[in-house]
Amino acid sequence: MQVPAHFEYEKAASVSHALLLLARYGQDARILAGGHSLIPMMKLRLAQPEALVDINGLTDELRYLRVSGGELRIGALVTHAQLLESELVGQHFAILHDAEQVIADPIVRNWGTIGGSLCQADPSEDLSAAFAALKGSMVVQGRDGSRVVPAREFHTGPYETVVAPGELLTEIRLPIRTGAAGARHGSAYVKVARRVGDWPVGAAGAAIWLSGDTIADAGIGLAAVGARNFAAAPAEEFLRGAPASTQSLRRAGQLAAEHCQPVPDQRGPADYKRHLASELTVRALVTAMRRARTPAAGRP
């Protein structure tokens, strides 16, 4: 029987209360959101916090989806299921619905939160790749105020983020860029997993902005394949200004794979993951481009 070691439990009544509790317990306190990463880690003693600050009650402050200032704003406590169900999300970022359909299983998605996923910072985490592709940013709050960190600077290593002890991730912001002079936007996420509900062997997300037959801009995110900052910057640079052709997308796939450093594990060898980085980048880009060219209505 796996049971976490002893810890103090505190229910936060507000964001400022949560920050106060974090300060009181210091280094060894952890935020408890859905608990679907933290509790399994505590059972295995991979995490042994002395105190948990439960933020599940902070739905008024941290559970919302809204458009503001040209951005989609996602409260940290939004669940995977809520992201998947949201029409607002699907309308702007098909990539997020693609990703959520293949993150864990429907029951886990009911309780796992977006903030928890990002702060867990697993190198295989799907949303980190999706948010990297969309060039989003994260709002981190401490007792002295909040700061906005680009998605691509949020992770500092495997299982590590810029969120310091005593701080809280409160919001994810995704820019809604229709682009200059009618550039059209499309996005997609593709993942290969060993079985339904499992973590990716490899996964790629793509966002594309078309201006006529030219790729005005592109974002590519990669999960589980050892991509720096979950992104494929050289491939994005190559695509910027390139013709919107299959050839361009294929080349971007190659570039994405060349810049990955996959680690072999029980999900697959490094070569296979590198192959996936290339192939899945191409597939995500192809779908993103098709969506950019197809009006939102009647989109698959």
Partner 1 sequence: MQVNVTVNGTVFTREVEPRLLLIHFLRDELGLTGSHWGCDTSNCGACVVWLDDVPVKSCTVLTAMADGRRVRTVEDLDRGGQLDPVQQGFAECHGLQCGFCTPGMMMTARWLLDHNPDPSAEQVREAISGQVCRCTGYENIVRSVLWAAKHEGGGT
Dihedral sign computed on CA atoms, order 45, 51, 55, 61? negative
Among 21, 84, 103, 174, binds ligand FAD (CB under 6 A): 103
| Cα(191)–Cα(186) distance, integer angstroms | 17
- Choose the contact partner of 12 out of partner 1, ligand FAD, none; CB within 5 to 8 A by kind: none
Amino acid at 79: T
Q: What number of residues does the chain have?
A: 300
Within residues 32-91, the interface with partner 1 by CB under 8 A covers: 32, 35-36, 39-40, 42-43, 52, 54, 56, 81
**Interface segment toward ligand FAD; rule CB under 6 A; list 33-41, 65-73, 253-261, 281-289:** 33-41
CB of 243 to ligand FAD, least distance (A): 34
Position 125 contacts ligand FAD (CB under 6 A): yes
**Which segments within the chain are labelled E, that is strand?**
8-11, 29-32, 51-54, 65-68, 71-75, 137-142, 145-150, 155-157, 160-161, 168-175, 184-193, 200-211, 214-223
CA angle 23, 141, 40 (to 5 degrees): 70
Q: Between residues 1 and 297, which has the closer beta carbon with respect to partner 1?
A: 1
Among 13, 46, 107, 296, binds partner 1 (CB under 8 A): 107
- Choose the contact partner of 2 out of partner 1, ligand FAD, none; CB within 5 to 8 A by kind: partner 1
Angle between helices 94-101 and 270-293 (to 10 degrees): 140
Among 20, 65, 108, 270, binds partner 1 (CB under 8 A): 108
Residue 254 — φ and ψ, nearest 5°? -60, -45
Q: Between residues 61 and 228, which has the closer beta carbon with respect to partner 1?
A: 61
Position 38 contacts ligand FAD (CB under 6 A): yes
Q: Between residues 18 and 260, which has the closer beta carbon with respect to partner 1?
A: 18
**Interface segment toward ligand FAD; rule CB under 6 A; list 34-42, 182-190, 207-215, 226-234:** 34-42
Amino acid at 210: L
Q: How many CB atoms lie within 10 A of CB 92?
A: 22
Binding-site ranges for ligand FAD (CB under 6 A): 30-38, 76, 80, 103-104, 108, 112-113, 115-117, 119-120, 125-127, 163, 168-169, 197-199
